Amino acid sequence: MTSILPTHGSSFYDGSRRGKQGPTLLRRMFRFPQMDFEFALWQMGYLLISPKRVYRNIYYHKQTKNRWSRDDPAFILLQILLLLVSAVVWSLVYNLSIYGTIKTILSMILVEFLLIGSVISTFTWYITNKFLTQNINSYAVAQKVEWAYAFDVHCNSFLPVYIILYVVQLFFLPLLLKDNWISLFIGNAMYCISLIWYMVGTFLGFNALPFLVHTELLLYPIALCIALFIASLFGFNISQYILQYYFQ
């Protein structure tokens, strides 16, 4: 690795680079031959079994591209495709109309993945830059977390959420719709595990950046998640509530 010290152009919001990284990603969004879908699939696989291995590769990316975030939209496009397929399958299971199917597709992709993901990314981007950055060398240009990298972390962390809530939950649907405590426990456990996995993935993503400190603070909300899960076991079926909101 040559150096982790940035130039003035390394920050996503730096003046000389502002507007370049985002449009570069958008321009490549429709250039499918230039996308590395094989590498994106490799990342997806290892994010589920060994996410640290994925984040170790960002050092090589920083060395060659002088940025922490992805410049290849293949990973995001694959996630959108997976959400599209899931939305259609869920719509078929609930026998939705064409309008209902389109509404489900837009909700899963635009709202849950992109909009909520952008809000979370903006929050983590602000928190890490405001409170968790550390300037090791006072003579070096201060490094900042790119907003695009914060969104990458969201995309990476969203993958296990997709597997549990959009795929596994579908197969458990006959059980989850029953009114008994086992149904309540399994359904609520799915949401609790997916949220904890998301938080752990977020921690690993920001912990991989060498200029951030005390990233373990990002794990603290897990305690609240567990507390809410325990409280929900006294009668609030999260899975049934969300499914009714979506499909009934």
Q: Distance between CA 77 and CA 191 in Å, rounded?
A: 24
| Residue-wise pLDDT tens digits, 144-191 | 999 999 999 999 999 999 999 999 999 999 999 999 999 999 999 999
Q: Please, which residues have CB within 8 angstroms of residue 119's CB and are 6 or more apart in sequence?
A: none
- Render pLDDT for 191-212 as a digit per residue (tens, 0 to 9): 999 999 999 999 999 999 989 9
What is the pLDDT, as a whole number, of residue 31? 59
Query: Is the pLDDT confidence value at 16 over 80?
Result: no
Entry pTM: 0.86
Contact between 212 and 161 under an 8 Å Cβ cutoff? The reply is: no
